[in-house]
Structure 1
Amino acid sequence: MPPVIGISAYAERARWGRTWDLDVHLLAQAYTDAVVASGAVPVLLPPVSGVAGAVGRLDGLILAGGGDIAPDRYGAPAAPDTAGVQDRRDAAESALLAAALAGAVPVLGVCRGMQLLNVARGGTLHQHLPDVVGHEGHRPRAGVFDPHPVTVAADSRTARILGRTRLDVPTYHHQAVAGLGERVVATAWADDGTVEAVEYADTEDVLGVQWHPEMGDDPSLFDWLTARASAPGRAQAGGGRAATA
């Protein structure tokens, strides 16, 4: 059976058709398309209490992009530009991450998801990146994933997965990693010094990127996650197929 990859979903108000205007759980189709193309089966994980109980049935986890993480989770007051905070999503995704780490389930963090990987280990965030770098290059146009170049540390797991140390990435964010958390290692940077990728130093199975790989044409990060989710012996370490066998 193909591995099952859970993806954290949004809780938003949405309109569709001529009739419906409802609270929904949703996710950009690009995430699920990327997971399917890598050979895995995607499952959406809504930000509800108890969702971390599903991790025992998963082979991999993607923490998706979205609104800002509540600043009190990293000991800071909210800045004027911090927006889209949802306490229930912060709580649900923090629990998903904790369960994945406890169960040796590989994790890919995307944009907000990468920031959560850092905050979960005591790291901090820049709440409005233009105030730090002096430009809007990480989110130049509303609703558009514009590219910018990134440099990857040559000796990093990230570089091995991507197969290169210099690339253009599709980006859309106004926050970024500031102080690194415990055993969180920065492995890629924008030209202005913004951290663009992190790894956990104590496991081969956790990686985050600040950009949106699902919106680009490079499948390597999703292929990596599916390969790790399918690795021989991983299920015996506590992954989903072992739990459901």
Structure 2
Amino acid sequence: MFRLDNKVAIITGGASGIGLSISRLFAKQGATVHIFELNIDQAEREADLINANGGEAYFHKVDVSKQKEVKKAVDKIAKENAIDILVNNAGIAHIGTVESTSEEDFDKVFNVNVKGTYNCLQAVMPHLKTKGGVILNVASIAATVGIPDRFAYSVSKGAIYTMTLQVAKDYLKYNIRCNSISPARVHTPFVDGFLKKTYPGKEKEMFDKLSKTQPIGRMAKPEEIGSLAVYLCSDEAGFITGCDYLIDGGFVKLNN
């Protein structure tokens, strides 16, 4: 079950954090993985590791905020093989309230998180329409609940949540499914870097504190997010579209 044999998948931000786990698990389940990344060295390294472990992966230097770059990469892939799956994972975070968020920072977050997703959707859709396919967007619990000091990030993820519903509605007739997943805190290298920079000398204390904000008592593992992504993009999830899946250790429903 949950195999992705003979599927061609594009995964944005697929060489680090949650995206890397999705890339690895998709390849393990039989998909041919195309990693879109800004850091081409990291993308090449991770693609090589996937190939060395029996998977099939390719890397592409793509800035998702640049429409021409996205379209060029997508069209190149589609010319060789039909695209079956798009995972819009690429995104950046930002800390700040509406007052402390500069216009430059707001634009930067939206260019990557929102425009980047739009660019990938627009580029891939003509190819998916020919035979159907699956789109999975990575949203966040911040799309539906208030998170302190996450104004721009939360608003951008709210856009991803709404975009998921709109695309699912518009492309039902083309046999294209579109869903999103909304993680709470996930233990990625980004978290470790944030703690080291923001709380030097208190990393362990703050890590434990942040972990306990989830009722389950810990952060998610990237591979747990990846496993949900595998299911939602598999044929077994063929009756699911227009849904957002919380994967949050009880944060939204039990944190009261």
- TM superposition score category, shorter chain reference: 0.3 to 0.5
TM-score by length of 1: 0.33
* TM-score, normalised with respect to structure 2: 0.32
Q: As a proportion of its length, which structure holds more strand?
A: 1
The structure whose residues are more often helix, as a share, is 2
Bigger relative CO (Cα 8 Å, ≥ 6 apart): 1
